[in-house]
């Protein structure tokens, strides 16, 4: 089989500062909300994982065109444009 995949690395800006300022419970809740939004933004066949700290990886299987990748990235950006309520 000839299959393609793309890997998207997501690093959260200022998460360490958020975690240190508001505490680890708030940081854990924020990570849960981020995980939910990421999960809802990607395709069911893709693989999403938290690498550690404030880093996530998305492995997109069968990404034949850049339009597919762009569509997923736009969905993630839209999901992250809304405020997070902790």
What number of other Cβ atoms are within 10 A of residue 71's Cβ? 13
Distance in angstroms (rounded) separating the CA atoms of residues 2 and 14: 39
Active site residue 46: no
DSSP state of 83: P
Distance in angstroms (rounded) separating the CA atoms of residues 37 and 50: 13
Candidates 11, 28, 46, 54; catalytic one: 54
What number of other Cβ atoms are within 10 A of residue 75's Cβ? 16
By annotation, the residues acting in catalysis are: 54
């Amino acid at each position: 089989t000839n299959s393609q995949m793309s890997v998207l690395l997501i690093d959260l800006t200022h998460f360490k500062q958020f975690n240190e300022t508001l505490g680890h419970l708030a940081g854990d809740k924020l990570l849960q909300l981020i995980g939910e939004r990421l999960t809802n933004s990607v395709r069911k066949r893709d693989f999403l994982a938290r690498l550690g700290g404030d880093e996530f990886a998305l492995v997109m299987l069968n990404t034949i065109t850049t339009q597919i990748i762009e569509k997923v990235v736009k969905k993630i950006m839209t999901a992250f444009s809304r405020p997070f309520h902790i």
